[in-house]
Amino acid sequence: MEKILKILRRKKPMDWFRFLLVWASGIMTIAVLLYLVGFIAVKGLPHIKPSLFALTYTPENQSLFPALVTTLIMVGMTLLVAVPFGVFTAIYLVEYAKRGSRLVRVIRMTTETLAGIPSIVYGLFGYIFFCDWLGWGKSLLAGCFTLAIMILPLIIRTTEESLKSIPDAYREGSFGLGAGRLRTVFRVILPSAAPGIFAGIILSVGRIVGETAALIFTIGGVIRLPESLMSQGRTLALHVYQLASQGLYPNEAYATAVILLAVVFGINALSGLVERRFVNKLK
Amino acid sequence: MIKSKTIYKLQDINLWYHDFQALKNVSMDIEEKKITAFIGPSGCGKSTLIKTLNRMNDLIEGCKVTGTIQLDGIDIYGDIDVNLLRKKVGMVFQKPNPFPMSVYDNIAFGPRTHGIKRRIELDEIVEKALRGAAIWEEVKDRLHKSALGLSGGQQQRLCIARALAVSPDVLLMDEPTSALDPISTGKIEDLMSELKEEYTVIIVTHNMQQATRISDKTAFFLLGEMIEFGDTEQIFSMPKEKTTENYISGRFG
Amino acid sequence: MIQKKKEQIMQVIFQIAALASILAVALICLFLFAQGIPAIARIGLFDFLGGKLWRPTVAEPLFGILPMILGSIYITGGAIILGVPIGIFVAVFMARMCPKPIYRFLKPAINLMAGIPSVIYGFFGMMVLVPLIFELFGKRFDMMSGDSMLAASILLGIMILPTVISIAETNIRAVPQELYEGAIALGASHERAVFKVILPAAKSGVMAAIVLGVGRAIGETMAVKMVAGNQTMLRLPYEYFKGVRTLTTNIIVEMGYVERDSLHFGALIATGVVLFVFILIINLLFSIINQDKKSGGSK
């Protein structure tokens, strides 16, 4: 302690300034985060009550249950579309394609482009293409395809990274035993890379759950339990948006925001946990 | 021969990295304006020892030193300003590490750190330092271009110039030529012989020819202990210790 | 033999899957451009990009998106001015200056911040930031409400923090330790070594962080919609207390009621095209910086 004090006393003014600057920035960032989360929690927690989870939404009772179910359906369906494409693309890039070939370069360029496109542009495209051109109308199906394209680059990238982190010795070992490439990929590489891939998928779930701009024109705004994939719907995030911008039910808006935050935080924690497992396992 | 003044006085230096003892009871006097070489096989503690002389080992977590090191009679592990210590004791590293900025800014970094801001003064220091490191002629036309464009040997001499720019008393060199080609190595060795006119030079090397070529004094280390310390000539022609003889005759290491 | 067939079939399947992202980009370009460009042609490129008035529903409609282009630029600029310095300092803090226990808490917190949905940020902005701004400046600047460029810039400044921080941190961490040691050995203090040697050495990485932050800010929709006021008036850069509309919010606000197949609809898609082009430019910048880093950084 005495030593620390001595060091502190010896700092020059300019170093003090730098020292305080970075500490202040760090503290400010955390303060903003805590304030945001705390504010929503304090405002919302008291209004979480069983009626929020009633089967239907009525003007008298702003149940979030239909939105929650819609969110789950959207997550499931979007992953169903995006994960095979994403994982297979990554397998192709890492295990099959020649590094640096023209096709690989083009694929990489397009995934980077996809990763940078703002969600509103996805929403616009989804509306023109899926709802309108393909004639699906505003529907869960159109929404999930739109989101699938949106999360594709994330899945490709995280899967690629996990595949790359598998030591080549595994591959050589498998080939050495006479296994073909396919068998090596499915029996050796994928199982070892699974936690990393899984962590990436969980991250994508986070994006799906939090997305609004890409969904607002593609799945509509009806808050009802969806009857089929062609029904319109409203996810939790959209529900928060609608409640917040209508301004009619602030308490319910806060409460729904708390649930949304809780879901996102849960997903985040899960992803971290899985990733740590993966890293430990590779060690 | 005139007895020269002792600049560093080391007494009973023990050093641990966590539980591993890297230096054991090292005591030695290092003389002013001489070149002292530390030799020995890898892991013998020679690099560790040179780092204690300007307290670079402070950066290593879990590193603990006991014993005293006096520089001009002042205990450098006592209550001193370690930044001033490092101003007095310059260091050149194994791998050239020029900062990713211009040649000029590389050299001026040290003086600026110690409060010299005036352009004229800085210009003078930069030129003097670059001349001192025998690289002025090669870089004078590209002072404001990135130092990363220089060759490896030039970069290392730039790093020597950078160290000279804060006008130190001592120059520590931790295997300064191990990453360089023979021609660059030759240039730096010539430079060192010039430098000892003004500075005390302490060099770690695993190249024994280099030690014989340039140093006045040589210390031989093994497994954290200083086995033998004396005039370079004596160490290499008639070592007192059997292990020293084994090492210099190439029987291990 | 069967085994070999299977291998071949699966390889083809992987390859086809890999083409999906190419197909997606192609479709997005095709459909946006196919509907957006004719609209731009009908409005006139100059009247579209340079037009100061957006009057989509009057008898003689005007489709000038200059106010929105400027709106996006102002708000993004503001977000960068507020968010980037703090983000970089936090990155420096995390990479080089903070005690380990704090890092263990800070790192997941920043990840968490990146995961918070924009609608939550927007809601927070609506409920906290907007009233606060109104209270502080409302009277003095004759504001109708706190919805303003300032509110959007502050909110976006917060939202880009996690992006800027994590990219910058990674790059600051990647600076070789030898440079730090070199500075310390010259008698520089820890702070000086970090700010004067490490940070400049991470310059291109920090630039990449900023560019990604810009991309995030310019593309953000919901949060901006909830706090920016959405007025289509042409604003000057110093009118920070007035409401503004951006390219993204122009789309979101009007898509709800636009008539299908009208010129208005085309103009909204064209707005999307302009946004898309902005993003392509930013991506291009990003890859140029990255290439620069690869060729110049390591040596």
Residue C89: HSE in the Cβ half-sphere, 13 Å Cα cutoff: 18
Tokens of B229: 């310390």
Compute the nearest-CA separation of C188 from chain B (Å): 6
**Residue B251 pLDDT class (50, 70, 90 cuts):** low
Q: Is the pLDDT of residue B56 over 50?
A: yes
Asked if residue B196 lies in contact with residue B168, where contact means CB atoms within 8 angstroms, the answer is: no
Q: Quote the pLDDT of residue A2.
A: 59
Q: How far apart are CA C43 and CA C39, in angstroms?
A: 6
Q: What percent of chain B has pLDDT over 70?
A: 98
Q: Is the pLDDT of residue A280 over 80?
A: no
CB within 8 Å: A133 and C97: no
The predicted-structure confidence for A157-189, as pLDDT tens digits, reads as follows: 999 999 998 888 888 888 888 788 888 888 888
Q: Does C122 touch chain A (CB under 8 A)?
A: yes
Query: Each residue of A20-33: b (16+ CB within 10 Å) or e?
Result: ebbbebbeebbebb
Q: Which residues of B touch C182 (CB under 8 A)?
A: 93, 97-99, 159, 162
Q: Quote the pLDDT of residue C288.
A: 86
Compute the nearest-CA separation of C299 from chain B (Å): 7
Residue pointed to by tokens 């070489």: B37
Q: Is the pLDDT of residue A62 over 90?
A: no
Helix (H, G, I), strand (E, B) or coil at B190: helix
The mean pLDDT value for A30-53 works out to: 92
The predicted-structure confidence for C155-197, as pLDDT tens digits, reads as follows: 999 999 999 999 999 999 999 999 999 999 999 999 999 999 9
Q: How far apart are CA A162 and CA A90, in angstroms?
A: 10
The mean pLDDT value for B72-82 works out to: 90
Compute the nearest-CA separation of C78 from chain A (Å): 17
Asked if residue C166 lies in contact with residue C88, where contact means CB atoms within 8 angstroms, the answer is: no
DSSP 8-state secondary structure symbol assigned to residue C148:
S
Q: Is the pLDDT of residue B109 over 90?
A: yes
**Residue B3 pLDDT class (50, 70, 90 cuts):** low
CB within 8 Å: C113 and A33: yes
Q: Is the pLDDT of residue C298 over 60?
A: no
Q: Which residues of C touch A26 (CB under 8 A)?
A: 89-90, 93-94, 98, 102, 106
Asked if residue C204 lies in contact with residue C297, where contact means CB atoms within 8 angstroms, the answer is: yes
Q: What percent of chain C has pLDDT over 90?
A: 71
Q: Quote the pLDDT of residue A53.
A: 83
Q: Quote the pLDDT of residue C297.
A: 42
Residues with Cβ within 8 Å of C141's Cβ and at least 6 positions away in sequence, in order, are: C241
Q: Which residues of A touch C32 (CB under 8 A)?
A: 121, 124-125, 128
> CB count, 10 Å around CB of A1?
5
Mutation target to probe the A interface, by most A beta carbons within 10 A, among C23, C82, C123, C212 is C123
What angle in degrees, to the nearest 10, is found between the helix axes of A190-210 and A236-246?
20
Q: Is the pLDDT of residue A85 over 90?
A: yes
Asked if residue C264 lies in contact with residue C276, where contact means CB atoms within 8 angstroms, the answer is: no
The mean pLDDT value for A233-252 works out to: 89
Q: Where are the beta strands (DSSP E) in C39-82?
A: 54-55, 62-63
CB within 8 Å: A260 and C120: yes
A248 vs C94, higher pLDDT: C94
Q: What percent of chain C has pLDDT over 70?
A: 97
Q: Is the dihedral of CA B69, B75, B80, B83 positive or negative?
A: negative
H or E element in which residue B21 lies: strand B20-31
CB within 8 Å: C185 and B54: yes
Q: Quote the pLDDT of residue A58.
A: 80
| Residue C43 placed within a domain | no
Considering only the beta carbons, identify the residue of A22, A91, A240 that sits closest to C97: A22
Q: Quote the pLDDT of residue C259.
A: 83
Q: In chain C, what's the furthest Cα-to-Cα distance?
A: 83
The predicted-structure confidence for B57-70, as pLDDT tens digits, reads as follows: 988 888 999 999 99
Nearest CA among A210, A212, A168, A209 for reference residue A188 = A168
Instruction: Give chain A's mean pLDDT.
Output: 88
Q: Where are the beta strands (DSSP E) in C7-127?
A: 54-55, 62-63
Compute the nearest-CA separation of A5 from chain C (Å): 16
Q: How far apart are CA A43 and CA A253, in angstroms?
A: 9
Q: How far apart are CA A41 and CA A31, in angstroms?
A: 15
- How close are the terminal C-alpha atoms of chain C, in Å? 51
Instruction: Give chain C's mean pLDDT.
Output: 90
Q: Is the pLDDT of residue B44 over 80?
A: yes
CATH code linked to domain B6-248: 3.40.50.300
Nearest CA among C146, C140, C112, C141 for reference residue C128 = C146
Q: How far apart are CA C122 and CA A150, in angstroms?
A: 21
What proportions of chain B, in percent to the nearest 5, are helix, strand and coil?
Answer: 40, 25, 35
Compute the nearest-CA separation of C21 from chain A (Å): 6
CB within 8 Å: B83 and C189: yes
CB within 8 Å: C182 and B159: yes
What angle in degrees, to the nearest 10, is found between the helix axes of A65-91 and A190-210?
140
Helix (H, G, I), strand (E, B) or coil at A47: helix
**Residue B161 pLDDT class (50, 70, 90 cuts):** very high
Nearest CA among C177, B75, B73 for reference residue B65 = B75
Q: Is the pLDDT of residue B8 over 80?
A: yes
Q: Does C227 touch chain A (CB under 8 A)?
A: no
Tokens of C26: 């192609």
Q: How far apart are CA C66 and CA C281, in angstroms?
A: 18
Q: Give whole-number Cα distances, A27 to A34, A115, C87, C162, C195, in Å.
A: 10, 31, 12, 14, 19
Q: Which residues of A touch C248 (CB under 8 A)?
A: 118, 120, 213
Which phi and psi angles does C229 have, rounded to 5°?
90, -25
Domain that holds residue C261: 54-296
In the stretch 142-201 of chain C, residues with CB closer than 8 A to chain B read: 176, 178-179, 181-189, 192, 196-197, 200-201
Q: Quote the pLDDT of residue C144.
A: 81
> CB count, 10 Å around CB of C102?
16
Q: Which residues of C touch B160 (CB under 8 A)?
A: none
Compute the nearest-CA separation of C197 from chain B (Å): 7
The predicted-structure confidence for A96-144, as pLDDT tens digits, reads as follows: 888 778 888 899 889 988 998 999 999 999 999 999 899 998 999 999 9
Helix (H, G, I), strand (E, B) or coil at B221: strand
H or E element in which residue B36 lies: strand B35-39
β-bridge partners, B222 = B225
Instruction: Kindly provide the ipTM of the predicted complex, given to two decimals.
Output: 0.91
The predicted-structure confidence for A179-229, as pLDDT tens digits, reads as follows: 888 888 888 888 888 888 988 899 899 999 999 999 998 998 788 888 888
Q: Quote the pLDDT of residue A8.
A: 59
Q: How far apart are CA B128 and CA B117, in angstroms?
A: 16
Nearest CA among A3, C232, C181 for reference residue B57 = C181
The predicted-structure confidence for C19-56, as pLDDT tens digits, reads as follows: 999 999 999 999 999 999 999 999 999 999 988 899 88
Helix (H, G, I), strand (E, B) or coil at A214: coil
Rounded to the nearest angstrom, the gap between the alpha carbon of residue A121 and the centroid of all alpha carbons in its chain is 18
Considering only the beta carbons, identify the residue of A149, A152, A217 that sits closest to C255: A217
Q: Is the pLDDT of residue C299 over 50?
A: no
The predicted-structure confidence for C203-241, as pLDDT tens digits, reads as follows: 989 999 999 999 999 999 999 999 998 888 888 888 888
Instruction: Looking at C116-235, list the stretches that DSSP marks H as alpha helix, in order from N- to C-terminal side.
Output: 118-124, 130-137, 149-173, 177-185, 190-193, 199-201, 203-219, 222-227
Q: Is the dihedral of CA C280, C281, C286, C291 positive or negative?
A: positive
Q: Does C288 touch chain B (CB under 8 A)?
A: no
Q: Is the pLDDT of residue B2 over 60?
A: no
CB within 8 Å: C201 and B113: no
Residue C18: HSE in the Cβ half-sphere, 13 Å Cα cutoff: 24
**Chain A CA closest to residue C13:** A88
CB within 8 Å: A212 and C248: no
DSSP 8-state secondary structure symbol assigned to residue B180:
S
Question: Into how many domains does chain C fold?
Answer: 1
Residues with Cβ within 8 Å of B21's Cβ and at least 6 positions away in sequence, in order, are: B14, B15, B224
| Residue C45 placed within a domain | no
Q: What is the CATH number of the domain that holds C151?
A: 1.10.3720.10
